[in-house]
Structure 1
Amino acid sequence: MSGPQVVEVVVRGKLGPDLLAALREYTVEAAPDGCTRVVGSIPDQARLIGLLDMFDQLHIEVVSVNPVRPGEAL
Structure 2
Amino acid sequence: MQTWIWIVIIIVALIAGAALGFFAARQYMMKYLKENPPINEQMLRMMMTQMGRKPSEKQVKQMMNQMNKMQK
TM-score range, shorter chain: under 0.3
Structure with the bigger RCO (C-alpha within 8 Å, sep 6+) is 1
* Structure having the larger proportion of residues in strand: 1
Structure with the greater alpha carbon radius of gyration: 2
Give the TM-score normalised by structure 1: 0.24
Give the TM-score normalised by structure 2: 0.25
* Structure having the larger proportion of residues in helix: 2
